[in-house]
């Protein structure tokens, strides 16, 4: 048997030609940037996109209308991808280049209890902020993930009389500014219990997480085939058993993704934590009593200080925050892949 042919796959020579045209476009873009007030790799990338598209279109001009249409479509899709990824790479590159300045061996094992923000970069650390962030995000996840998934199950599986109301409230909550959630928790928990705490910060984060988890879970559950549900009912399964034994395991990876998206939504929130958990320079593991540190508030307080070393610490904390979110995404993908294998 012969393998199926793939006429759309480019040959090695065509790939080399495409690479040379791209290099040529980037070179022309670099010359334009050098001769104009524009500067930076972002400017080179944005100018190179239309130049490479024009070069590819000119190369395919004599190859017929189909080749020209293909060149135009390829250029548009590639350009859209590059426009999307260029700012993202710029942000990541900036955080990495500036964030590594304050990182040293004790950066993750010390706190700022006896260190001033303007002290030397070889002193102090963000241990307290990392622990506080993990505690509050964990508590917020324990609150919001079950509620969000159950909301999606009610809307897609139960479809009761309140389905429209639940969907409306979920959509409305997704548009609530984070500072409003912080004010709400401040007025209901902080004032009532007379003090800032990690649990108050976690509740404010949970309020922001629930809409993301609920809406994503709803869309994921809609992907389950109706035939699969009917097959379960045909075998005598009840609705609850059908949901928990068939529907939810089928979209386990999607539900994990919805939880991760919810965590990523609140991992960098600062305003609600300023009003509920405040900031503490020492390590605290008790979410029920007293202020507790977090990475976003640590970054805000360091930037607010304005000192060169404090700003360097803020950049390093931002790099650590990005790293934590990335690790969380990797773990979620591993968990979902293990679920699929089983």
* Mean pLDDT, residues 117-142: 90
Can you read off the two tokens belonging to residue 23? 């290099």
**In contact, 113 and 281? CB cutoff 8 Å:** yes
* Mean pLDDT, residues 152-157: 88
- What letter would DSSP give residue 61? G
Please tell me the predicted confidence (pLDDT) of residue 273: 92
Question: What residues contact 131, with CB distance under 8 A and at least 6 apart?
Answer: 283, 284, 285, 293
What values do phi and psi take at 194, rounded to 5?
60, 55
* Mean pLDDT, residues 196-224: 90
Question: The whole model's pTM is what?
Answer: 0.79
Can you read off the two tokens belonging to residue 118? 């303007």
* Mean pLDDT, residues 4-9: 56
Please tell me the predicted confidence (pLDDT) of residue 25: 73
DSSP of 298-342: HHHHHHHH--HHHHHHHHHHHHHHHHHHHHHHHHHHHHHHHHHH-
Please tell me the predicted confidence (pLDDT) of residue 14: 64
| pLDDT: which is higher, 291 or 65 | 291
Most distant pair of Cα atoms in the chain: their distance: 77
* Mean pLDDT, residues 308-323: 91
Please tell me the predicted confidence (pLDDT) of residue 283: 87
| pLDDT: which is higher, 332 or 165 | 165
How many C-beta atoms lie closer than 10 Å to residue 39's C-beta? 10
| pLDDT: which is higher, 115 or 73 | 115
DSSP of 254-309: HHHHHHHHHHHHHTT--HHHHHHT---SS----TTSS----HHHHHHHHHHH--HH
Place of tokens 């790799």: 41
pLDDT tens-place string over residues 99-129: 888 888 888 888 888 888 888 888 888 999 9
Please tell me the predicted confidence (pLDDT) of residue 5: 53
- Has residue 194 got a pLDDT over 80? no
- Has residue 135 got a pLDDT over 90? yes
pLDDT tens-place string over residues 285-306: 888 888 999 999 999 999 888 8
Q: Is 151 helix (H, G, I), strand (E, B) or coil?
A: helix
Please tell me the predicted confidence (pLDDT) of residue 174: 83
CA 306 distance to own-chain centroid: 28
Residues 160, 59: Cα–Cα separation, whole Å: 60
Please tell me the predicted confidence (pLDDT) of residue 2: 53
Please tell me the predicted confidence (pLDDT) of residue 68: 67
Please tell me the predicted confidence (pLDDT) of residue 199: 92
pLDDT tier for residue 210 given thresholds of 50, 70 and 90: very high
Please tell me the predicted confidence (pLDDT) of residue 325: 86
* Mean pLDDT, residues 1-15: 59
Domains identified in the chain and CATH numbers: 12-99 (no CATH), 127-341 (1.10.3720.10)
pLDDT tens-place string over residues 255-268: 888 888 888 888 88
């Amino acid at each position: 048997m012969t393998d199926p042919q793939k006429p759309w796959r480019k040959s090695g020579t065509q790939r080399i030609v495409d690479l040379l045209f791209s290099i040529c476009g980037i070179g022309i873009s670099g010359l334009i940037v050098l001769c104009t007030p524009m500067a930076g790799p972002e400017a080179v990338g944005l100018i190179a996109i239309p130049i490479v598209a024009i070069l590819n279109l000119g190369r395919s001009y004599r190859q017929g209308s189909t080749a020209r249409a293909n060149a135009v479509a390829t250029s548009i899709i590639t350009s859209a991808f590059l426009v999307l990824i260029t700012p993202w790479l710029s942000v990541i590159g900036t955080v990495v280049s500036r964030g590594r300045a304050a990182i040293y061996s004790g950066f993750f094992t010390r706190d700022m209890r006896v260190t001033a923000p303007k002290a030397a970069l070889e002193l102090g650390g963000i241990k307290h902020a990392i622990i506080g962030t993990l505690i509050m995000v964990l508590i917020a996840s324990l609150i919001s993930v079950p509620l969000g998934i159950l909301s999606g199950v009610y809307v897609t599986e139960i479809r009761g009389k309140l389905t429209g109301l639940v969907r409306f409230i979920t959509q409305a909550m997704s548009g609530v500014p984070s500072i409003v959630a912080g004010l709400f928790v401040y007025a209901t928990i902080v004032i009532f219990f007379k003090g800032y705490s990690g649990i108050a910060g976690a509740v404010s984060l949970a309020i922001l997480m629930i809409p993301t988890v609920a809406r994503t879970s709803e869309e994921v559950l809609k992907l389950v085939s109706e035939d699969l549900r009917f097959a379960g009912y045909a075998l005598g399964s009840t609705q609850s058993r059908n949901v928990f034994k068939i529907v939810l395991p089928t979209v386990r990876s999607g539900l994990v993704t919805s939880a991760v998206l919810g965590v990523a939504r609140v991992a960098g929130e600062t305003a609600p934590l300023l009003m509920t958990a405040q900031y503490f320079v020492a390590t605290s593991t008790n979410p029920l009593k007293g202020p507790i540190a977090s990475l976003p508030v640590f970054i805000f307080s360091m930037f607010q200080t304005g000192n060169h070393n404090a700003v360097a610490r803020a950049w390093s904390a931002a790099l650590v925050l990005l790293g934590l979110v990335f690790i969380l995404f990797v773990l979620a993908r591993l968990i979902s892949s293990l679920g699929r294998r089983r």
